[in-house]
Amino acid sequence: MDDLMKLVRAYRFAPDIEERIRIAGLICPLLSPQLSLFIRGFVQPPNADDVLQDSMKAIIGGLRGFKGTEVKQVWKWCYQITRRKIADFCRSAKADRLQPMEPDELNQLLQTSAQAAPGSPAVWHDLEYALNVLLKSKPECYDFLWQHYIVGLDYADIAAEQDMTYDSARMKVGRCLSEAQKLVSQS
């Protein structure tokens, strides 16, 4: 991974556009595989490549302003940009959907995950139960809880995406979590 940091530094201080393009061509293959896997956890395959491309463009476009000095910081920064691109995609697709995934697809994903990474039956039962509670909540709450707890957006990111204040986003997530807890207690 030390190669990645060397390339990032070289990109930041490259004297001309041709050199930056050449270095970007070396950076992208180092980042793409992991970011692609991350994206595919949230975006269905037909759209995952578009989100990856948007993420890579944003990463490369912002690289000159990146101030980190460690590989860990590079990855954290890249994942933050990618999470925002995932959220952008979900927000743009919001009019076409009520949920990030159809319940049947979500259950199929759960079954596939259980085969790929077997865990205790209790863990999988709890996960399935939690997803069913989310599906019973209001679509708006489903989106807020999905973005915060699954996609990993913080309140500031959610506020920016929803065009609301930080406190409004924090309160909305809190109210939605309370609603989900009520659904759990009623079951």
Element (H, E) at 32: helix 17-40
Q: Please state the pTM of the whole predicted model.
A: 0.56
- Whether the predicted pLDDT of 95 surpasses 50: no
- Whether the predicted pLDDT of 98 surpasses 60: no
- Which of 175, 108, 119, 113 is closest to 148 using CA atoms? 175
Q: Helix %, strand %, coil % for the chain, to 5?
A: 80, 0, 20
Q: Which domains are seen in the chain, by residue range? A: 2-95 (1.10.1740.10), 98-186 (1.10.10)
Instruction: Give the mean pLDDT of 63-92.
Output: 89
Of the two residues 96 and 165, the one the predictor is more confident about is 165
Residue with tokens 């996609």: 151
pLDDT of residue 97: 44
Instruction: Give the mean pLDDT of 75-79.
Output: 92
Least confident of 4-13, 55-64, 70-79, 134-143: 134-143
